Chains A and B, each alone.
Chain A
Amino acid sequence: MSTLEQTAAAGELTEHHHGPASGIGRWLFTTNHKDIGTLYLWFSFIMFLTGGCMALMIRAELFQPGLQLIEPAFFNQMTTMHGLIMVFGAVMPAFVGLANWMVPMMVGAPDMALPRMNNWSFWILPFAFAMMISTLFMDGGAPNFGWTFYAPLSTTYAPPSVTFFIFAVHMMGISSIMGAINIIATILNLRAPGMTMMKLPLFVWTWLITAFLLIAVMPVLAGVVTMMLMDIHFGTSFFNAAGGGDPVLFQHVFWFFGHPEVYIMILPAFGIVSEIIPTFARKKLFGYASMVYATASIAFLSFIVWAHHMFTVGMPLVGEVFFMFSTMLIAVPTGVKVFNWIATMFRGSMTFETPMLFSLAFVVLFTIGGFSGLMLAIAPVDFQYHDTYFVVAHFHYVLVPGAIFAIMAATYYWIPKWTGRYYNETMGKVHFWLSFIGVNITFFPMHFIGLAGMPRRIPDYALQFADFNAVASVGAFIFGFSQLIFLYNVISCIRSGKKASSEVWEGSHGLEWTLPSPAPYHSFTEPPVVK
């Protein structure tokens, strides 16, 4: 313990007490995993609202057929920026923030393994997103080629701001890789005595595997944007058939990153739900070991399924068949997980607090998203569904009531531990039901208009799609504005919530609940012994 209090060498700021430093310096210079977790979570929420506003602009334009509010060119920028901001700015940082807060507390560590690098991982992000959002005000506008930035739309036909987009992606990649390295080092090296790998909470397990995925694929993303940069500015022809390259190569390299990336956005959600359901069912998680193996299998499979995003691009038949069947295999470990969650609840004494409501909605709605994914995996059928609203419905079902609901569940679940106070349960339930209804009104009709053939990323549509589009837009506004309830609930919880005990929940289990609420600034200065 004494070393912790020693004043560090010259060049470092000194800390005279156990608590946080005061003023803005606390947040700029912090090495504390809780402070950094908080920064990540607030940053993610701001990005969530920013990307959400863009989504509402898209839905407002699509409320009626014809062009009402925004120019088609700007519509393209909105779809692109909405996707990029939600993926890289909202969902990923939220999970990293939760990992920062919870992983050291769950494994019985004093902090993250490399605390200064932890701070750097976070503070790169605001700069990266400032640069990316600033492209909206540049000549030629922001990137307009979709979040998947397919060549040659993103090379030959891209606006000049694409250069800044590329460097912003590089910065996000650096941030993610350092964050992931830190999480792996913490889990592998800072576990309390007795905390064996097969005793790790599932949230920690899923993050360990997610961090591995991040380190494996973020460099590939860096590679593909570098090749774009070379093609645009330095005369190479990686993605240009005139020089012997191939635009399809772009899609292969991108999706080799992109498919593990979508699991990066869902595996930690699996972990969260696997923590919450046992607490509120007051039963041990059913099939712990199979959950771990299922997560690892999903991660492995994520590397060999990427081309199911490209069935219509013109691949050899053997490719179509291979990627079709490998994709369907993913349903097996995912089915194991869904089965285990349901079996955990079976004959449990369940209560339905807000985190549990979000987790239950996760299980049901994520499964719907999984099933539409299976439909899309069937190559010959995908020829019809490709690039329609059916795809939009599919991935929003796995990302909004999937990833985002899990993040909200996690916030409600752990916020008493973070702040020492309960949120307002009634307000939480109102937030849940409005979100649940809003999400389904928004995305469920998209299945129908997608199957009927409405293409995605187009600001106008044929008249027969009008009714469902109007409904979807109403749902989007319900969902969007109900997030303000969430914001209000969180702020009032921090300021004046009812005091929480250290267990917080009746059925809670695990090391994080042995710490007082709010958790002390330094988590486990002495490692707990896990039996």
Chain B
Amino acid sequence: MTTQTYYVPTQSRWPILASIALFLMAFGAGNTINGLNAEQGGGIGVMLLLAGALAMGLILIGWFGNVIRESHEGLYSSQMDRSFRWGMSWFIFSEVMFFAAFFGTLFYIRTLAVPWLGGEGEKGVANMLWPGFTAEWPLMAPPDSETFPGPKGIIDPWHLPLINTILLISSSVTVTIAHKALKQGKRSAIVLWLAATILLGAGFLVFQAYEYVEAYHELGLTLHAGVYGATFFILTGFHGLHVTLGTLMLIIIWLRVMKGHFSAEKHFGFEAVSWYWHFVDVVWVGLFLFVYIL
């Protein structure tokens, strides 16, 4: 292990530009959201948010392009490769903890908060707040049903969610096959299997969107529907966002494969995306189990 070849880039404009873009996004989002409540249209906020997001997209393209160029110029040693691997692994760990916060919330609400409100358990005195409220899960009738009208029904796990489970698990398999093909240098096979993965991911997103429409329009399962809706949407929503991001990443990798990037030995970009994809898959299994079935 030698650091002699460790590449330290010279000065870069990307980070400061990305900081400005992130600030525009955050400040714009704050103004937009506060504008929603004031009902005076957060025109400037939306503009800032969009400008920030657009700038961030362009910056990321430039920044990653920079990294890819340096990689092709052979500036990265195997030690650099390990830095990237540690970086991506710990990033995924941070994502795991992000979802852990929401899963923890779900478990606390289900096993402690709602039963206490219903008069069960050691803190059952909370039932005094809404006498007559009975605990159940899924929570169809929240304590204050006027402010938070409960859902009329919930999503049946054995239809769309089951299909989505099959889609995502198969996509994890296809991305692994693509990875195998990459290691054997079979380029047409990679293109094919990656395309299959992208289609499976996109299919998942379409079904998920359809499920949301059904939840809102037919089941009355909304963000306002009490804590069942809140936990349902925050978990599935953030998962959906991650699948969207993962699909975008897969598309970029797919385009790069077609441009002839990656070799059988050096393809960390590909692996990072496939790690991320397996991660969203595992989160989904947790969701399917704890949000839909149980």
Interface residues of A (CB under 8 A from B): 1, 3-4, 6-15, 21, 25-26, 28-31, 108-111, 113-117, 119-120, 123-124, 127-128, 130-131, 160, 163-164, 166-168, 170-171, 174, 177, 180-182, 184-185, 188-190, 192-193, 215-220, 222-224, 226-227, 229-230, 233-238, 240-246, 248-249, 252-253, 256, 314-317, 522, 524-527
A526 and B122 CA atoms in complex are apart in Å by 64
Known contacts A243-B144, A243-B226, A253-B104, A184 near B11 by CB under 8 Å: no
Please determine whether A115 and B9 come into contact, CB atoms closer than 8 angstroms. yes
Please pick, from A110, A164, A174, the residue contacting B22 in the complex, using a CB distance under 8 A: A174
Whether A244 contacts B93 by the Cβ 8 Å rule is no
Given A181-B87, A219-B97: A241 touches B104 (CB 8 Å cut-off): no
Q: Which size class do B's interface residues fall under?
A: 35 or more
Q: Of residues A6, A29, A189, A314, which shows the largest number of chain B Cβ atoms within 10 Å of its Cβ?
A: A189
Point out the residue from A117, A128, A233, A314 that lies within 8 Å of B37, measured CB to CB.
A233
| In the complex, residue of chain A having the shortest beta-carbon distance to the beta carbon of B95 | A219
Question: Are B109's CB and A163's CB within 8 A?
Answer: no
Known: A11-B62, A229-B33, A314-B123. A119 touches B27 (CB 8 A): no
Nearest A residue to B67 via CB reads A116
Contact A244 B12 (CB under 8 A): no
Contacts of B19 in A (CB 8 A): 120, 123-124, 127
From A10, A29, A113, A170, B11 is in contact (CB under 8 Å) with A29
Inter-chain contact B98/A222, CB cutoff 8 Å:
yes
B143 at interface by CB-CB < 8 Å: yes
Q: Determine whether the beta carbon of A189 is less than 8 Å from that of B79.
A: yes
Bound-state Cα–Cα, A81 to B3, Å: 43
Determine if A243 and B227 form an interchain contact, defined as CB atoms under 8 angstroms apart.
Answer: yes
A163-B34, A241-B126, A253-B104 known; A185+B9 contact, CB < 8 A: no
B293 interfacial by beta-carbon distance below 8 Å: no
Q: Decide if A167 touches B117 in the complex (CB within 8 Å).
A: no
CB closest residue in chain B, given A36: B15
Q: Which residue of A lies closest to B98 (CB)?
A: A219
Q: How far is the CB of A462 from chain B (nearest CB, A)?
A: 32
B132 at the interface (CB under 8 A from A): no
Report chain B residues within 8 Å CB of A116: 9, 12, 14-15, 63
A182: nearest chain-B partner, CB-CB: B87
Decide if B27 touches A317 in the complex (CB within 8 Å): no
User: How long is the Cα–Cα vector from A217 to B116 in the complex, in angstroms?
Assistant: 28
In the complex the two chains form, is A223's CB within 8 Å of B113's CB? no
Determine whether the beta carbon of B109 is less than 8 Å from that of A110: no
Report the separation of the CA atoms of residues A242 and B126 in the bound assembly, to the nearest whole angstrom.
Answer: 11
17 pairs of residues in contact across A and B, judged by CB atoms under 8 Å: A9-B70, A11-B65, A12-B66, A13-B10, A13-B13, A108-B3, A116-B14, A120-B15, A131-B26, A163-B34, A185-B86, A215-B93, A219-B100, A236-B234, A243-B148, A245-B113, A316-B123
Given A114-B83, A527-B4, A9-B22 contact (CB < 8 Å): no
The distance in angstroms between the C-alpha atoms of A227 and B15, with both chains bound, is 29
Query: Smallest Cβ distance from B86 to chain A, in angstroms?
Result: 4
Given contacts A29-B11, A222-B98, A233-B33, contact A113 B16 (CB under 8 A): no
**Are the CB atoms of B227 and A114 closer together than 8 Å?**
no
Q: Is B246 located at the chain interface by the 8 A CB criterion?
A: no
Contacts of B142 in A (CB 8 A): 237, 242-244
Interface string of B110-151 (1 = CB under 8 A from A): 001110110001110010011000000001001110011000
In the complex, the answer to whether A4 meets B23 with C-beta atoms within 8 Å is no
Inter-chain CA distance A111–B94, complex, in Å, is 24
Chain B residues contacting A26 (CB-CB under 8 Å) are: 11
CB-CB < 8 A to B116: which residues of A? 246
Bound: A124/B25 CA distance, A: 12
Rounded to whole angstroms, the CA-CA distance of A4 and B8 in the bound complex is 6
Contact B8–A171 (Cβ < 8 Å): no
Pick from B2, B98, B147, B230: contact of A238, CB below 8 A.
B230
Q: Given the complex of chains A and B, what is the CA–CA distance between A29 and B63 in angstroms?
A: 13
Interface residue B53 (Cβ < 8 Å from any Cβ of A): no
A190 x B83 contact (CB < 8 A): yes
Take A31-B11, A164-B30, A527-B3 as given contacts and tell me if A246 and B108 are in contact as well, using a CB distance cutoff of 8 Å. yes
Contacts of A130 in B (CB 8 A): 23
In-complex Cβ contact of B10 among A8, A242, A248 (8 A) = A8
A171 to B28, CA, bound (A): 13
**In the assembled complex, B102 has its CB within 8 A of some CB on chain A:** yes
Q: Is B224 an interface residue (CB 8 A)?
A: yes
A116 to B60 alpha-carbon distance, docked (Å): 13
Nearest-CB residue, chain B, relative to A187: B86
Residue contact B226 to A119, C-beta cutoff 8 Å: no
A sample of 7 more A-B contacts (CB under 8 A), given A31-B11, A241-B143, is: A26-B11, A28-B16, A29-B13, A119-B12, A215-B90, A253-B105, A256-B104
B104 CB contacts on chain A under 8 angstroms: 252-253, 256
CB-defined contacts of B126 to chain A, threshold 8 Å = 241
Q: Is B69 an interface residue (CB 8 A)?
A: yes
Sort A-B residue pairs by CB-CB distance and give the 7 closest, nearest first. Answer: A223-B101, A242-B144, A236-B230, A244-B227, A120-B15, A219-B98, A246-B113
Is B82 interfacial (CB 8 A cutoff)? yes
Inter-subunit contact B122/A316 (CB<8 Å): yes
Q: Look across to chain A and name the residue whose beta carbon is closest to the beta carbon of B26.
A: A167
Partner of A316 from B6, B12, B121 at Cβ < 8 Å = B121
Question: Do the beta carbons of A249 and B105 come within 8 Å of each other?
Answer: yes
Q: A21-B11, A119-B12, A123-B19 are in contact. Are A189 and B227 (CB under 8 A)?
A: no
> How far does the alpha carbon of A527 sit from the alpha carbon of B4 in the complex, in Å?
7
* Residue B29 at the chain A interface, CB threshold 8 Å: yes
User: Is B7 touching A131 in the complex (CB atoms < 8 A)?
Assistant: no
